């Protein structure tokens, strides 16, 4: 992991856990249609535009990874969260890197999804 723009730490997908709970959150900030095509199993979905209104759903004590399609939107959300008391980690390469690393992508019903 390394510091990036705006003081936000970035992590290569290999450094991101594959399971999530209350203490480790993978926040997917992609749009609804992207989420429905496929996402990481156990990820939490809050579209980028909804994050300011829904920050209360995130535990500021949890390890918080932020992901989008390729890493740009998630970096902007991570910078916003960092300014609002969180210590987010941006996932470099986004869901493209997640999928490219052979990690499972699922749909809401648990079947295989696509990025």
Whether residue 6 is predicted with pLDDT greater than 90 in this model: the reply is: no
Pairing of strands 105-106, 39-40: antiparallel
Whether residue 5 is predicted with pLDDT greater than 60 in this model: the reply is: no
- What pTM was estimated for this model as a whole? 0.95
* pLDDT at residue 7, as a whole number: 78
Topology of the domain comprising 2-106: Oxidized Rhodanese; domain 1 (3.40.250)
6 vs 78, which has greater pLDDT?
Answer: 78
List the catalytic residues: 68
> Which whole number is the average pLDDT over 39-46?
98
Picking from 13, 31, 26, 43, the residue whose alpha carbon sits closest to that of residue 78 is 26
* pLDDT at residue 2, as a whole number: 64
Mean of the per-residue pLDDT values for the chain? 95
Q: Where are the domains of the chain?
A: 2-106
| C-alpha span between 30 and 15 (Å, rounded) | 21
């Amino acid at each position: 992991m390394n510091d990036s723009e705006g003081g936000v730490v970035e992590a290569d997908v290999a450094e991101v856990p594959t399971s999530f709970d209350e203490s480790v959150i993978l926040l997917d900030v992609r749009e609804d249609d992207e989420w429905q095509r496929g996402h990481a199993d156990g990820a939490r979905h809050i579209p980028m535009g909804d994050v300011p209104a829904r920050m209360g759903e995130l535990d500021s004590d949890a390890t918080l990874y932020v992901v989008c399609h390729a890493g740009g939107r998630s970096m902007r959300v991570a910078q916003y969260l960092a300014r609002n008391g969180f210590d987010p980690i941006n996932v470099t390469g986004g869901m493209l890197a997640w999928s490219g690393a052979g990690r499972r992508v699922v749909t809401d019903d648990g079947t295989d999804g696509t990025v």
